[in-house]
Amino acid sequence: MPDTSGRDLLSRHAASFDAAADAYERGRPSYPEAALDWLLPPGARRVLDLGAGTGKLTRQVAARGLDVVAVDPSEAMLDRLRLAVPGVTALRGTAEAIPLPSGSVDVALVAQAWHWVDPAVAVPEVARVLKPGGRLGLLWNHRDESEGWTRKLGALLARLGSMEDGSRAPRVGLPFGPVERRDMRWSQPIDAAELLDLVASRSYFIVLPDAEKAPVLDDVRALIAREPGFDGGGFVPMPYVTRCSRADLA
């Protein structure tokens, strides 16, 4: 029997992003170009960005001259995407019901979103829209909280709870072949305002009662005040580990 309570919790968190599209756009990081080098198969021309959000990955793929179709269940997110990446086809849909014809894309990329889907339905649906031999690429950014100020940030946010995203062993399976994995370490500069937006864009923050949100942001501001790199509107490196997985249609 499926864990209904767990699926209900996932659905609630997944649906929360409508309320934080602006914070998501301002605060969430991009992705390392090396990840795209590894995930995109040679000769790929048409790419599906599934769970595209505000288009953080979409704009990087489009910048490579590829034809991108962005799909997301949130109209608020898609509105931001259309502003950020004008001209890209942006459609409302989900991994379980992709609004594209069969065999229409070379690769489907899913950034920061595969943990929201039902793999039993999403895997065959992604396979349907891929061309023969097409590829599914998954990636997640994780803060590297092994040391320094990011460890303190992680301890602060851990009080809100967390949700396993499955990035260490994503559920794919047939009709795809074996899943290959690679981790990539990198960093992106972030200032105080972007850090606050990053926190405010996390689903476990968005679903908090309003009365509990202000104290969390106050704690983040106190952390910022103790870190000299943020002084005077400065930027500090936010270290990340991007976990990547890829699998080709067998």
The full set of domain ranges for the chain reads: 4-143+162-188+238-248
pTM of the model: 0.88
Give all strands of the β-sheet with 105-111 in edge-to-edge order. 89-92, 67-72, 46-50, 105-111, 130-143, 236-248, 180-190
Q: How many CB atoms lie within 10 A of CB 162?
A: 11
Q: Average of pLDDT values for 192-197?
A: 94
Cis peptide bond N-terminal to 175, omega within 30: yes
Provide the pLDDT for residue 19.
Answer: 55
Q: Say if residue 159's pLDDT is above 90.
A: no
Q: Average of pLDDT values for 119-140?
A: 98
Provide the pLDDT for residue 43.
Answer: 96
Provide the pLDDT for residue 5.
Answer: 39
Q: Tell me the average pLDDT of the chain.
A: 89
Between 141 and 12, the higher pLDDT residue: 141
Q: Average of pLDDT values for 217-240?
A: 92
Sign, Cα dihedral of 121, 207, 17, 39: negative
Answer yes or no: are the C-beta atoms of 104 and 129 closer than 8 Å: yes
The closest alpha carbon to 24, from 51, 48, 49, belongs to 51
Domain 4-143+162-188+238-248 fold is: Rossmann fold (3.40.50)
